[in-house]
Amino acid sequence: MVAETDFTVEVEESLTGKYSQKMRSGRHELFADEPENVGGNDAGPNPYAYLLMGLGACTSMTLRMYAELKQLPLQRVRVRLSHRKVHAKDCSDCETREGKIDEITREITLEGELTDEQRQKLLEIANRCPVHRTLTSEIKVRTRLV
């Protein structure tokens, strides 16, 4: 996957609802909001949904690129993701032991006449998609007022 190393998105309140946001990336315009049950207008997916969509899209694109490179008979990729907060003490493979942690579940469906070995390799590749690597690495968010 060819990832842009330097790019900017812009997000601003849309002024059409309490939490509604207008987001731009290049020529693309999207909306985010919160569900009505938490005071939003449900005018778009919430921020966590966009996070999951980014991981899902990256996963699928990475698998497609690898399959093309290796000429694998992959016909279609589907990625289903969910997010929840779980108690750290209930997570057997987590370093954090107190409070809550974020848990993302990713289910990948691979269509095509793939061998078990090819499927296993594609699973390994899914864990190497750039967004997955970003989410599982150290992240610094530098914030400043302008």
Render pLDDT for 87-125 as a digit per residue (tens, 0 to 9): 777 777 777 777 788 899 999 999 999 999 999 999 999
Tens digits of per-residue pLDDT, 33-72? Answer: 999 999 999 999 999 999 999 999 999 999 999 999 999 9
How far is Cα of residue 47 from the mean position of the Cα atoms in its chain?
10
Do residues 32 and 99 both lie within one domain? no
What is the average pLDDT value for the chain, to the nearest integer? 92
Which value, to the nearest 10 degrees, does the dihedral of the CA atoms of residues 37, 42, 44, 47 take? -20
- CATH number where 100 lies: 3.30.300.20
Do residues 126 and 102 both lie within one domain? yes
The secondary structure of residue 38, as a DSSP letter, is G
Do residues 76 and 120 both lie within one domain? yes
Whether residue 1 is contained in a domain is answered as no
Whether residue 144 is contained in a domain is answered as no
The range of the structural domain enclosing residue 50 comes to: 46-135
Q: Is residue 135 over pLDDT 60?
A: yes
Whole-structure pTM value: 0.89
Beta carbons within 10 angstroms of residue 9's beta carbon:
10
Number of folded domains that form the chain: 2
Q: pLDDT: is 88 or 8 the higher one?
A: 8
Do residues 89 and 17 both lie within one domain? no
Instruction: Note the pLDDT of residue 3.
Output: 54
Cβ atoms 33, 40 nearer than 8 A: yes
Percentage with pLDDT > 90 across the chain: 82
Do residues 67 and 128 both lie within one domain? yes
